[in-house]
A = this chain, B = another copy of it.
Amino acid sequence: MQNSVSRANLQRVLAPKSVAVVGASASPDKAGYQALAALERFGGDIYPVNPKADQILGHKAYASLQAIGKPVDLVILAVPAAACVQAMREAIACKCGGGLIVSGGFAESGEEGAAIQRQLGELCQASGFRLLGPNTAGFVNMNISLSATFVAGREHLTKGNVAVVAQSSGINFTITFLIARYGLGVSCAIGVGNAIDVDVSDILEFLAEDPGTDAIALHLEAIPTGRRLHDTLRKVTPKKPVVAMVVGRQDIGEFAQSHTGNLVGSYELKVNALRQAGAVVVGSTDEVAAAVRVLSLQRMPPKANPGVGVLTGQGGAGLIMLDWLKEANVSVPEFGPATASKISALLPPMTYLKNPVDTARPGPTFPQVLTTIGADKDIDVVIVYALHEPATLLPETFFADVKKAMGKPLLFGTGGPESELRPTIAKMRGDGLFVAESPEKLAQAAIVLVQDSVAQWKLAQPAAPVAIQKAPRTKGGIDEDASKALLNAIGIATPQRFACSTREEALAAFRQLPKPVVAKILTNEIAHKTEAGGVHLKLADEAAFLKAIDALDRIPLKGQRRYLVEAMAAPGLELIVGVLRDASFGPTIMVGMGGTTAEAIKDTATRMGPVTLAEAHEMLNSLRAGALLDGWRGSPKVSRDALATAIVRLSHVLVDQPDIKELEINPLRVYPDGVLALDALIV
């Protein structure tokens, strides 16, 4: 229920003014005690609910939610699974905002728990009451000093501008503590657990409006409502950067099922859908923490291809960083003559000046070199690595000033003995500077800033300049001719063809078409026409043609026998393009190279549909055998534009045509001047 009540209630749950603990207890080993104790710093109203107590932990206790006498924003349900339904009914009756279930014993534990979980979900749906969990360790909202969790160590968390949202509650705190390692606090850290009501998308919507949050870390396992997540992220990422990780590169099905549900869907589609929505996707909790850290400090303006300037005190570190940046396809532009000559005036002649700049041992001109690099118009972010050498370089004394003057992100990386390094790093981090502790982590931070910038640039691009014709509605069981008519209607060419009901029509078609022609059986009774002898190629003369029609007539059919007579397409490179309605992400589009080798290596690219022209080109760029498109060993260079345009047009079909579940063009033959769909299958 996405109405204003449920939205307001979500706000009440995550940023409550009052909290009740149902099942509050005075026994320290009970969850109801720990949940109440965790609220110790919360500044709002606190109501223990326990019919057998007068006072718990210094708070007046109430016999029931009703007895409190006013609607509480957040109700923490510290009662067994079986008691939750009744408690929630009472909370709803009292017009409470929502609840948090910290206990387990729901869908992850078997059929009985699943039944309770379903009931809770239905109660939420019907009432607008918002429920977080079950199967979560809760959340913290440091903006209001709220610990709605009893995870150990919560009392050490500090307030900061990064929010963490995680499907798994354990990973919520794993990431939160990793972030804290950088001396960084969190605004909120929220694990959604089984997410029967409040899910990741809800939390993201809340955080988009949370003034305490500047950057968001996101951990995902299953993504049951991918389309909604994508749409939400697309609205959130232009406001606040989002760094995401998705578990499930490999099939880890059975264990995953036991955890918070199955990891449905392809990892590639999930990652690409998140990227299409402007998120930066990384691979591990460590990388999430480091990436959200750098993005919480600064964001680069959207740009198609930002440039990184690299300054290094050690050549070996420069090599490593350059290697990583190039591997990530990030630009490290060679300096123009103006910048190069300024730098060469500042450094001894032996050093390398073109980008990376290798100063050998850092000297007194280091800050000026830095400023010069930062002033280059092709440079959007500057990274600097230098081993800790306090005798020659004290980065903590000038980095903040240089960065401010530069007006561009300036990231530092260093190494050295921990005892000496710690004060330097602490000072620099205190000044809002990013400090990495290895060359690779420094390069990775720049890559994250660039990826965020490029993603936002892509989101801001105007819609593709491709004319989209709305696909006509079709009815079930359409044959090859009708499929091709649909393709023609949306602007995808097919070979010239005639659908013929009689031999005479077929012969007339043959006479009219350029030779050679192809004769196919036209029916929905046969799935694999070629195997059934239903396709005859290279028919150049009437005798051969009529022989082919004879053969088609021998195929046993129950219904009407028709023929599809087509001009035979010129040879060319073949691809496969298909659209499919995914259970989670809705319309998706796939393009792949044709042929058995490409099929064996799964050389495909998948995106949520519809895609823009730029996204279609990106899909083609990501094909491993994509070089074949550009004229391989003497074959002609085909039109990537025509191919991308066809992808864009096809990607709109499922959006316009709710009846179609799946459409595959196999093969799509590509030429220097266009494309031809040789066969098409619609489900």
Contact = CB atoms under 8 A, between A and B. Distances in A.
A438 interface: yes
Interface stretch (A50-58, A116-124, A317-325, A647-655): A317-325
Contacts of A441: 286
A627 B109 CA distance: 39
A152 B416 contact: yes
Contacts of A326: 249-252
Contacts of A416: 152-153, 177
A221 B316 contact: yes
Nearest to A257: B352
A420 interface: yes
B323 A417 contact: no
A318 B256 CA distance: 9
Contacts of A166: 316
A166 B167 CA distance: 42
A168 B319 contact: yes
Interface string A430-463: 0000000111110000000000000000000000
Contacts of A614: none
Contacts of A168: 314-317, 319
A438 B174 contact: yes
A269 interface: no
A363 interface: no
A598 interface: yes
Contacts of A420: 153, 156
Given A418-B180, A601-B603, A153 B250 contact: no
B170 A313 contact: yes
A466 interface: no
Nearest to A635: B596
B322 A255 contact: yes
Contacts of A156: 417-420
Contacts of A252: 319, 322-323, 326
Given A387-B151, A628-B597, A259 B157 contact: no
B171 A255 contact: no
Nearest to A318: B255
A9 interface: no
Interface in A15-61: none
B219 A596 contact: no
Interface string A392-411: 00000000000000000000
Contacts of A284: 320, 438, 440
Contacts of A152: 387-391, 416
Contact of A318 (B248, B259, B356): B259
Contacts of A572: none
A104 interface: yes
Interface in A222-250: 247-250
Contacts of A169: 314, 316
A415 B317 contact: no
B251 A352 contact: no
Contacts of A258: 315, 352, 358
A625 B595 CA distance: 11
Nearest to A113: B350
A578 to B, nearest CB: 18
Given A440-B285, A595-B597, A354 B254 contact: yes
B320 A285 contact: yes
B360 A104 contact: yes
Contacts of A421: 177
A397 to B, nearest CB: 16
Contacts of A180: 417-418
A350 B600 contact: no
Interface in A302-322: 313-320, 322
A287 to B, nearest CB: 8
Contacts of A263: 319
A585 interface: no
Nearest to A360: B104
A331 B168 CA distance: 24
Given A152-B387, A388-B152, A440 B171 contact: no
A498 interface: no
A202 interface: no
Contacts of A108: 350
Interface in A168-202: 168-171, 173-174, 177-178, 180-181
A624 interface: yes
Contacts of A419: 156
A633 interface: yes
Contact of A249 (B174, B314, B327, B625): B327
A316 B259 contact: yes
Residue among A260, A415, A439 with the most chain B CB within 10 A? A415
Contacts of A635: 596
A593 interface: yes
Contacts of A596: 628, 632-633, 635
Closest 4 A-B residue pairs measured CB to CB?
A168-B316, A170-B314, A156-B417, A250-B326
Interface of A: 104-105, 108-109, 151-153, 156-157, 166-171, 173-174, 177-178, 180-181, 219, 221, 247-252, 254-256, 258-260, 263, 283-286, 313-320, 322-323, 326-327, 350, 352, 354, 356, 358, 360, 387-391, 415-421, 437-441, 593, 595-601, 603, 624-628, 632-633, 635
15 contacts: A104-B360, A153-B416, A153-B417, A157-B417, A168-B315, A171-B314, A174-B438, A181-B437, A259-B318, A259-B319, A286-B440, A596-B633, A597-B603, A597-B625, A600-B627
